[in-house]
Structure 1
Amino acid sequence: MTNLLALVKPTTKSYEELCTLVREHLNPKESILMARYRFYTCQRSKGQEVASYIVKLRRLAGHCKFDGFLEQMLRDFFVLGIDHEVILCKLLNVETLNLSKAIMIAQYSVTLLYSRHNIKGTIFYTNGSFRCATGDISNISQFAIHCPIREITDAQYTMRRNYISFPITREKQLERACGFARIVGFPMVQDTIDCTHLILRAAHNNPEVFRNCKDYHSLNVQLVHDHTCRILTVKACYPDSSHDAFILRQTGVSAPFQPPHQARGWLLGDKGYLLSTWLMTPLCNPNTPAQHSYNESQAVTKNIIVRSDQAMVPLPWPLGSSPSVEWVSLCIIICCMLRNLRSQPLPPGIAPPQEV
């Protein structure tokens, strides 16, 4: 207080004058020059949304006292903050451009460019093309197409539990058991399990681990299906040298059949698995008619996963040009998600796409 009053004693001022003095000290009025300096030096940060940028400009212009030139100044500096060449050309080619029209054009262009960016990444999954082919379709380099593919893959992977899950509610258990029973009468079947080989290009590191008995490189992918061929679990990180039973022991497929869940029923597997209280496998040496009937029923019921595995397109996943096995595994999981999504019924009011 003494510093604020300089040579004047505080006792010579009234209470109201002292309050005003402190208030002005704590909340000093910004000069017009300083306010305009902040406005003129404002730059749009990388990746900042159009709406956020214009709000920032309006806030800084509040103390500049542009008066009748406010909208014009906001428009000019809004255009100066656009760093994308395509959007900037669109704005500069408009003769009568006001602020609202500039914002509309910029927002529409950003949305369109973002949609195209996502479409380029989606081509990788929708038509089975790899980065080279996808880049050729989009007329950009393989290195450039890697970015949208990675963004699409990471975004879809975060939603994997919405499309690949093993529900163990009583309603779902009953639905699956009835669905499998309608095939040939095999009772209390919850799911079928098997492993399938997905072809890979040879890996740079330890390629022989991925070589299978048919002398090509592949991943041994474990899939669990229900009666509608919907994929409930997928494990796609093991080379072909890993046995089916070994992969099963490393995963949590048996968890729904153990306490506290204790699903009523069992899985059906082939001879590559060990018989368990929750996993029914075929008999090795059937002798009686009942044993032969069991094997036939088990094979026919389990045949649903064979048809489903054949639907998995045997593309040569490019492990040799990919960062790791985890990346290829992640791509396979996304393909399983899209396959489940394709089998889901459309929401009410949505018509199926017309064939061209």
Structure 2
Amino acid sequence: MAAALFARRRARRQRERQRKERIFHQRITLFQMPESDVIKLYRLPSHVILSLLDEIKDDMEPRTKRSHAIPGLTKLLAALHLLSSGSFQRAVTRNVGISQSALSPALSAFLRAMMRRVGQYIHFPQSREEIMETKMDFYAVAGFPNVIGAVDATHVPITPPSDDEHVYLNREQSYSMNIQVVCNARHVINNVVAKYPGSTLDSFVLRRSRLYELMEDREAGRGWLLGDSAYPLLPWLLTPVSNPTTPAEQRYNAAHSKTQNVIERTLRVLKSRFRCLDKTAGSLLYSPSKVCEIVVTCCMLHNLALRSGMPVEVGAEGDDEHLGDGEGLEDGWATQREVIRSYFN
């Protein structure tokens, strides 16, 4: 009798435990939210999110037939919320409605899907029409001619791997990845290099980039990049005059500064839009390679937001510590002097 009673109690406890295990998180859908909340949480409007899902659905939709498999939209929303908020995973899972253990695979799937499509979202102007439009847009900023891009570096905080910790330590004595970004006058990112640790000089990142090779191979006069004093002065990369002594040099520097500010503003917009990249959200708790994928993906999403008509909103002002060698070449000085003589006298 006692044995039978014990068996019934054990069976009842097992049934209760099974019922508890089958309590699933309530999953949030776009259709349950006001559009203002969608943009606040995910940084993109609903129709753009759904269009993005349609593009990457083969990478995001579950391959299992389980009735409670996580839908691709839920995975996408979880990844977008994590990137936009910079919140700890627990907060994201609470807002989106998936378990903490499911969030990391969802983010990984999204990053893989986006990295397969980088060229669709980020590309440097190549055609004559693109180059001319870019030059005209930059000229409208401050009268600086022939500019096809503004380049700058920004640091993204990282928790470094223990074996190579020192190479991620930047001049501010914090750990980071050094990210090179080029944009046009409309704040669209058209080139990004995300693979070097925080101790790397900006000029080193540039010289090892595909962009450097591209600009070196271009025909003379097809356009210049503008960079700050962390970069070398080159025939296709114009930097400020270090000690302007003439009115023409001062006008050149003023126009350079105002035009160069486009990339500084772009980086502030990027980090304001995707808080995971900003130091105020703490350091990213992922491997360096995954952090780089996150950075590139955020740049792609930034361009997607601009393409969809999202306003350019800037958060708190803040400049990164720039690491440069300040070197210059005679050809670069010659180009700079010719620009000053021809356009700023």
TM-score normalised by length of structure 2: 0.63
The total of aligned residue pairs comes to 244
In 1: Cα distance, 2:264 partner to 2:254 partner? 15
Partner residue in 1 for 2:122: 164
Gaps of 5+ in 2: 1-21, 24-63, 272-277, 312-345
- Counterparts in 2 of 1:264-343, with a 5 A limit? 264-313=222-271, 314-315=278-279, 316=281, 318-319=283-284, 321-322=285-286, 324-343=287-306
Task: Show CA shifts across 1:295-344 (max 9, x none).
Answer: 1111111011111112232145645x42x211100011111111010000
Alignment partners' CA distance in 1, 2:145 and 2:223 = 8
CA RMSD of aligned residues (A): 3.0
Q: Structure 1: how far apart are the matches of 2:77 and 2:192?
A: 26
Could you say what secondary structure the match of 1:284 adopts?
Answer: coil
What does the per-residue CA deviation read over 1:222-266, in whole Å, with 9 as the maximum and x for residues that have no partner? 000101011011112111210010000110113443446667111
CA contact (8 A) 1:157 1:334 kept: yes
1:237 and 1:246 map into 2 onto residues whose CA distance is 12
SS in 1 for 2:153: strand
Deviation at 1:203, TM superposition (A): 3.7
Which of 140, 155, 160 is equivalent to 2:113?
A: 155
CA contact (8 A) 2:160 2:288 kept: no
Distance 2:157 2:221 in 1: 34
Amino acid aligned to 1:165: H
User: Secondary structure of the equivalent of 2:190?
Assistant: strand
Paired-residue identity, %:
31
Q: Which residue of 2 aligns with 1:135?
A: 93
* 2:189 equivalent in structure 1: 231
Aligned pairs for 1:100-249 within 5 A: 113-138=71-96, 140-249=98-207
Q: Deviations over 1:159-214 (max 9, x none)?
A: 11111111211101110110111111111001000101222234433323222222
Give the Cα–Cα distance (whole angstroms) in 1 for the partners of residues 129 and 156 of structure 2: 34
Question: What pairs up with 1:30-49 in 2 under 5 angstroms?
Answer: none
1:63-116 CA-partner distances (Å, limit 9, x unpaired): xxxxxxxxxxxxxxxxxxxxxx89xxxxxxxxxxxxxxxxxxx99968983433
Provide the residue aligned with 2:10 in structure 1.
Answer: none
Contact 2:74 2:96 in 1 (8 A): no
Match of 1:252? 210
Residue ranges of structure 1 left out of the alignment (5+ in a row): 1-84, 87-105
Higher relative contact order (CA 8 A, sep 6+): 2
Q: Distance in 2 between matches of 1:132 and 1:155?
A: 24
8 Å contact kept, 1:180–1:189: yes
Q: For 2:270 and 2:211, locate their aligned partners in 1 and report how far apart those are by CA, in whole Å.
A: 21
Q: Structure 1 residues 108-117 or 273-282, which shifts more?
A: 108-117
Q: Quickly say closer, same or farther: Cα 1:261–1:133, change in 2 above 3 A.
A: farther
Residue number in structure 1 paired with 2:318 = none
Distance of aligned partners of 1:113 and 1:194 in 2 relative to their CA distance in 1, 3 Å threshold: closer
Asked if 1 retains the 8 angstrom alpha-carbon contact of 2:152 and 2:180, the reply is yes
Rg comparison, structure with higher value: 1
